Amino acid sequence: MTGHTLRWVAVAITALVAGCGDKPQQNADHQVVLIGQASPLTGPQAHLGKDNENGARLALDEINAAGLTLGGKKVVLEMKSEDDAADPKTATTVAQKLVDEGVDDLLVISLFPHYAMSSFETAMVRVQEVAAQVAPRMRVEIRKAYYDEPDYIAALLASAESYLAKPFDQLLFSFHGVPERQIRKSDPTGCHCLKVPNCCEVASPSHDVCYRAQCFKTVAAFAKAAGLPKEKYSVAFQSRLGRDPWLSPYTDHELERLAGLGVKRLLVICPAFVSDCLETIEEIGMRGKESFLKAGGLEFTRIPCLNEHPKWIEVLEKMVAAFTQKS
């Protein structure tokens, strides 16, 4: 064997990117997967970027130690870390380095499970713009949102099972909110989202790009898999800004309402995020907990995001393996 297929997997805050091209290597008995870590390693946000980098290295060491195969072939993960300085222009330079590695096929997997104009769509459009700029001939494949796919739901449930096994009164699904106008703007029909009674329950092609509908589908799939009765869970939306109406009910209001109804032991899960962040740790785990306890609740437990849970890593592995088999 005179060469091998170079696989690229780049993990950032918004997307996971896998690609392939042709490059020689000395170890022909295995496949090399490059993990590209683009984070601010310098500047005022360097502490966050270095935390991401260190966490990624620990995860890769653990996976390599356990052994990994893709499509029946042994895989060794190697990390290539780049400093984007939290600057979009620098990020383009980082992308150019990816191209220089010989990558000519890209798979882009959003780390936002649901479609939303402000997250999924923005990230995907930016990736396509940069790819067109630095490598016009590169094939870019966008992985669709996976909010209710069985593997993702199974991973989400596995991450929560130990919490659900203990006594609790209510499980609150807290999704990141978006302005209502954004939901209406993304509706391709122009006459369904937030305009038809129970719009998320009425079949429509708009659901393919409706964040609200996809959130409810995640909840329905999770509740079914977990065997949760309807009275045991509820849904709310957090992180609203400005004066425009956002998706409701609002999480901060819901926490007080549930406590007022007599809910004493509350679990909160945040499926809009695959990794814990400011919105989950501080907004929910700290401020949300304080609000619930002040309103009369006794126990508040935030279920961590998927983070590096083995089942979630398996989901990503399957996505990448499916791509590599086609490339």
Rg of the chain (C-alpha set): 21
Report the 10 Å Cβ neighbour count for 95: 27
Domains of the chain: 4-145 (3.40.50), 150-302 (3.40.50.1400)
Those residues with Cβ within 8 angstroms of residue 61's Cβ, 6 or more apart along the chain or in another chain: none
Q: How far, in Å, are 37, 120, 128, 143 from residue 94 at the CA level? A: 10, 20, 14, 21
* Tokens coding 140: 């870019």
Q: Are 263 and 233 in contact (CB under 8 A)?
A: no
pLDDT tens by residue, the chain, 327 residues: 232 333 333 333 344 455 555 443 445 677 787 666 778 899 888 887 787 788 778 778 887 888 877 767 788 888 878 888 888 788 788 878 877 877 777 888 888 999 999 999 998 998 888 888 888 888 889 999 999 999 999 999 999 999 999 999 999 999 999 999 999 999 999 999 999 989 999 999 999 999 999 999 999 999 999 999 999 999 999 999 999 999 999 999 999 999 999 999 999 999 999 988 889 999 999 999 999 999 999 999 999 999 889 899 889 888 887 887 775
- In whole angstroms, what is the distance from residue 164 CA to residue 225 CA? 12
Q: What is the pLDDT of residue 237?
A: 98
SS (H, E, C) the chain: CCCEEEEEEEECCCEEEEEEEEECCCCCCCEEEEEEEEECCCCCCHHHHHHHHHHHHHHHHHHHHHCCEECCEEEEEEEEEEECCCCHHHHHHHHHHHHHCCCCEEEEEECCCCCCHHHHHHHHHHHHHHHHHHCCCCEEEECCCCCCCHHHHHHHHHHHHHHHCCCCCEEEEEEECCEHHHHHHHCCCCCCCCCCCCHHHCCCHHHHHCHHHHHHHHHHHHHHHHCCCHHHEEEEEECCCCCCCECCCEHHHHHHHHHHCCCCEEEEECCCCCCCCHHHHHHHHHHHHHHHHHCCCCEEEECCCCCCCHHHHHHHHHHHHHHHHHC
* Tokens coding 236: 């709310």
Q: What is the pLDDT of residue 302?
A: 98
Q: Are 139 and 104 in contact (CB under 8 A)?
A: yes
Q: What is the pLDDT of residue 65?
A: 87
Q: What is the pLDDT of residue 8?
A: 36
Give the pTM: 0.83
Q: What is the pLDDT of residue 181?
A: 96
Q: What is the pLDDT of residue 58?
A: 79
Q: What is the pLDDT of residue 15?
A: 44
